[in-house]
Structure 1
Amino acid sequence: SLELVDYWLFVIDTAGGDDIPRKRGLGVIQCDLLVINKTDLAPYVNVNLERMVREADQVRGGRPVLLTNCAKGEGVDAIVETISRQVLFDR
């Protein structure tokens, strides 16, 4: 139940296609932090990252969207910083 969750991090990856935000799934719309992972694969799976982020921003009402390539550690610090700030200091 979502009522039992203090913080909701939702991870999608580029291999799923750049239309994931446009589909307006519950996780994309309601999570506290949306992470788009595997950004390094975007060119190989024909994903437009700019469009993906723009559409995610549109459906999320200003809640954060971060890009990562966890295999190389890119963007992980931003995730930690965002969660720390929102969970420890904004609540």
Structure 2
Amino acid sequence: HNRAGKGLGVQLFHSIEALKTYVEGPTFEEPVDGITLIQEYILSPESYITRCEFVGGNFVYAVKVDTSEGFELCPADVCQIGDLF
């Protein structure tokens, strides 16, 4: 799902065949905005990313986000739902 960079619905596939099986299978959901984004996974030696925000081509901020528990990467406290989900 292409939802404001939160990582919702992001999945890791270890082969093109696994991706093809998913896309052609019953659990694939067409994105609301029509965009299916595919990115290469690069294993990092550290369990974090640095997310940078730019507005109008100008740097606004950078934040270090923990990736040790998966791809849902909303760094704001309001996104931390714990066991509510």
Structure having the higher strand fraction is 2
Rg comparison, structure with higher value = 2
